[in-house]
Amino acid sequence: MEARDPELRKELNATLNARRDLGEEYESALVDSFLEKVEQRVDGAVDRRVRRQMAEQQMVVARGAKPSQLPDDTTFGERFGFGIISIILAVPLTAIGVVNAGLKGLIVTWIGIVGVNAVHAARGWPWLGRSEERSRAEKSDWTD
């Protein structure tokens, strides 16, 4: 397996070597230290992505794009992630529904799963469930 971050790979190797040298009594402290470094890396990567995305949106607005040309509230990644999480959670929910109520539990569980996904998907559709006041408020955010 090839490491994406060679520096983090070195940190992991150093942590493993330190664990061998120091013994099991320091294991939790070493793991906590390594996880803190990983968390800092993830936070930094997320911060860079957010800054880049904000800069791209500011460039679109600065170029005079209309609000309809800007991406909607829900990005593809958010929709995809929501779908994946709902499928992952569907497995234990289906098992619970079937064990407790049989076929009726299965049907009710999947109606709920489909309903939640439908409501989430409908957020991006302006003709479903958005009042004129909300649409006007969203547009005014772009024109100020």
Write the CA distances from 13 to 1, 27, 30, 138, integer angstroms.
14, 14, 11, 50
Q: Which residue has the higher pLDDT, 117 or 126?
A: 117
Strand extents, DSSP E, the chain: none
- Determine whether 58 is exposed, middle or buried from the number of CB atoms within 10 Å of its CB (0-12, 13-18, 19+): exposed
At 19, the pLDDT band (50, 70, 90 cuts) reads confident
pLDDT per residue as tens digits for the range 69-118:
444 555 777 878 888 888 888 888 888 888 888 899 889 999 998 988 88
Q: Which residue has the higher pLDDT, 122 or 140?
A: 122
Mean pLDDT of the chain: 77
Q: Give the per-residue pLDDT at 65.
A: 62
Least confident piece of the model among 5-19, 37-51, 90-104, 113-127: 113-127
- CA-nearest of 121, 131, 122, 55 to 83 is 121
Q: What does pTM read for this prediction?
A: 0.39
